[in-house]
């Protein structure tokens, strides 16, 4: 129920946040209504807890014995190959029975890429120009066709891009997926606090709000009704992936089968670190509990340590791809999100005490989805090929950029075409063979070899379209 102005003033004063009304008399009626709506949405109990956390300096630094996880390896022997075969069969059963839901984290904007819009609307197809959203959507559509059942898609947006994302998806007819199988929900926002513990203002009538981190997807699944929708569809396994990785395989039967064979709550895909100094978090055990060990938390000795096979001991690089039991998410969110807060102190552009724009130090608060691993009774760490499953689009240039993602896509597809004994286009001036294969044609090298697809020859390259 919406509270009145006097009620909100009283609540803000009780929480030592009455400064939110400092510029009330300067505001137009519409701005006053907007400010009241933002304050009414605040949970001052949560704000007070964050304030206390801020006073204490945030989460405790990593302590305890660090051990690498048991990894289901990319290169397998007889025993692991047999388990992989059994897992793939079980995963096929789960997918064919419609027991898997697909959660895409897509709250980001593409401003760092020089594009005005949701990151998912950014084009990455090296020949087709397909966007990240379409790439993922067509993978799910291909899986739906392959298994003969719906592949429900739960798309997490943000306040900034929710409207644009919904419009983009609708404009493109949900990339061939039924509209009823696409469920949008938004990530929650939290106020940033100044060093005095008071909520910062972005403007006289706007609170400084920031996303609550990718861990917030779990709480948002609960509060949005998405978990209830999964229950009604009898979905009990969630495939979690992020929008910026065009190589991700969201419907991977072997991954789901390994997860289920292990009776796991939450499992992860990883890639081998490129080298000891690659600045990525790795999966490991911290005093026996599974979690992510940040690069900065590993000593130089541990970063470089190798096992008896000569591999890095801590090599399981996190790529933010998980299989999570729906019931486990329900347990984590039954009484609010049961994950630790992480604090990020930085300078922000805010509204100063004189009502003028200024820069001030403040703290943002986030939760991380991988922190749920520590609460899992069982977990699988599944190693996959970086060349086949991980090439994120994060930077405008250099590493993890559109150029590197397109290069990696072309390299993978060229290998498939070469293995099938089919003709490749000439090498482009940048050294890339411009070829692309629609997920509707094939999702693996073997599937492409067994297909009868023929390329459409375009000025940009060869495109095998479904």
pLDDT at 415: 98
How far apart, in Å, do the first and last CA atoms of the chain sit?
A: 50
Residues of the chain with pLDDT > 90: what percent?
Answer: 90
Q: Please, what is the angle between helix 226-233 and helix 216-223, to 10°?
A: 70
Closest CA to 159 of 205, 103, 206: 206
Give all strands (DSSP E) within 370-454, no chain letters: 381-383, 435-437
* Cα distances (Å, whole numbers) of residue 254 to 91, 241, 351, 425, 433: 6, 16, 52, 33, 30
Residue 305 and residue 168: Cα distance in Å, rounded?
Answer: 47
| Torsion on CA atoms 291, 293, 297, 301, rounded to nearest 10 | 120
Q: Residue 250: what pLDDT? A: 98
Mean pLDDT of the 383-392 span? 97
pLDDT digit string (tens) for 227-258? 999 999 999 999 999 999 999 999 999 999 99
Residue 302: name the closest of 314, 292, 315 by CA. 314
Q: Which residue has better confidence, 341 or 98? A: 98
Cβ proximity of 463 and 438 under 8 Å: yes
pLDDT value for 62: 57
Write out pLDDT tens, residues 173-205: 999 999 999 999 999 999 999 999 999 999 999
CA angle 229, 235, 241 (to 5 degrees): 90
Instruction: Please give the pLDDT value at position 83.
Output: 97
CA dist list (Å): 424 to 124, 318, 441, 454: 20, 33, 17, 11
Q: Is the dihedral of CA 305, 307, 310, 311 positive or negative?
A: negative
Instruction: Encode pLDDT of 1-39 as tens digits.
Output: 578 999 999 999 999 999 999 999 999 999 999 999 999
> Are the beta carbons of 383 and 316 closer than 8 angstroms?
yes
170, pLDDT greater than 60: yes
Q: Is the pLDDT of residue 444 over 80?
A: yes
Coil, strand or helix: which one is 315? Answer: coil
Q: What is the mean pLDDT of the chain?
A: 95
Predicted confidence at residue 178, as pLDDT, reads 98
Sign of CA dihedral 398, 404, 407, 411: positive
pLDDT at 295: 87
Does pLDDT of 63 surpass 70?
no
Q: Is the dihedral of CA 387, 393, 396, 402 positive or negative?
A: positive
The Cβ of residue 118 has, within 10 Å, a number of other Cβ atoms equal to: 28
Domains and CATH numbers, the chain: 1-42 (no CATH), 58-394 (3.90.550.10), 402-466 (no CATH)
Q: If we measure between CA atoms, which residue out of 365, 253, 371 comes closest to residue 318?
A: 371
The pLDDT score that the predictor gives to residue 357 is 95
């Amino acid at each position: 129920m919406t509270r009145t102005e006097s009620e909100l003033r009283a609540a803000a004063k009780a929480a030592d946040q009455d400064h939110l009304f400092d510029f009330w008399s300067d505001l137009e009626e519409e701005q006053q209504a907007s400010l009241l709506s933002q304050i009414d949405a605040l949970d001052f109990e949560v704000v007070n807890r964050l304030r206390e956390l801020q006073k204490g300096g945030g989460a405790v630094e990593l302590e305890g014995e660090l051990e690498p996880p048991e990894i289901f390896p990319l290169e397998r022997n007889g025993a692991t190959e047999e388990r992989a075969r059994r897992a793939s069969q079980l995963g096929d059963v789960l997918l064919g029975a419609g027991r898997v839901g697909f959660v895409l984290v897509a709250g980001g904007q593409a401003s760092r890429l020089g594009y005005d819009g949701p990151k998912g609307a950014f084009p990455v197809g090296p020949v087709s120009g397909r966007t990240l959203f379409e790439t993922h959507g067509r993978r799910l559509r291909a899986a739906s066709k392959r298994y003969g059942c719906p592949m429900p898609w739960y798309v997490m947006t943000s306040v900034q891009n929710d409207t644009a994302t919904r419009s983009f998806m609708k404009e493109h007819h949900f990339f061939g997926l039924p509209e009823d199988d696409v469920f949008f929900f938004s990530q929650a926002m939290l106020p940033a606090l100044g060093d005095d513990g008071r909520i910062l203002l972005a403007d006289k009538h706007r609170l400084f709000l920031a996303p609550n981190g990718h861990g917030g997807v779990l709480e948002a699944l609960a509060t949005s009704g998405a978990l209830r929708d999964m229950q009604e569809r009898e979905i009990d396994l969630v495939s979690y992936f992020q929008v910026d990785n065009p190589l991700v395989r969201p419907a991977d039967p072997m991954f789901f089968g390994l997860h289920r064979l292990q009776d796991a709550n939450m499992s992860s895909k990883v890639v081998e670190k490129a080298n000891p100094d690659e600045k990525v978090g790795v999966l490991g055990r911290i005093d026996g509990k599974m979690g992510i060990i940040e690069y900065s938390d590993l000593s130089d000795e541990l970063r470089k340590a190798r096992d008896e096979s000569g591999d890095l001991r801590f090599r399981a690089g996190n790529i933010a791809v998980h299989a999570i039991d729906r019931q486990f998410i329900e347990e984590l969110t039954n009484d609010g999100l049961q994950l630790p807060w992480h604090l990020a102190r930085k300078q922000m552009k805010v509204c100063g005490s004189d009502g003028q724009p200024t820069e001030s130090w403040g703290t943002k608060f986030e939760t991380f989805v991988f922190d749920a691993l520590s609460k899992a009774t069982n977990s699988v760490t599944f190693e996959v090929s970086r060349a086949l499953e991980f090439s994120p689009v994060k930077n405008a240039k250099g590493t993890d950029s559109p150029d590197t993602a397109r290069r990696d896509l072309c390299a993978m597809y060229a290998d498939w075409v070469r293995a099938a004994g089919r003709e490749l286009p000439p090498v482009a001036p940048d050294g890339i063979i411009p070829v692309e294969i629609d997920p509707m044609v094939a999702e693996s090298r073997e599937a492409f070899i067994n297909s009868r697809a023929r390329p459409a020859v375009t000025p940009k390259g060869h495109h095998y379209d479904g």
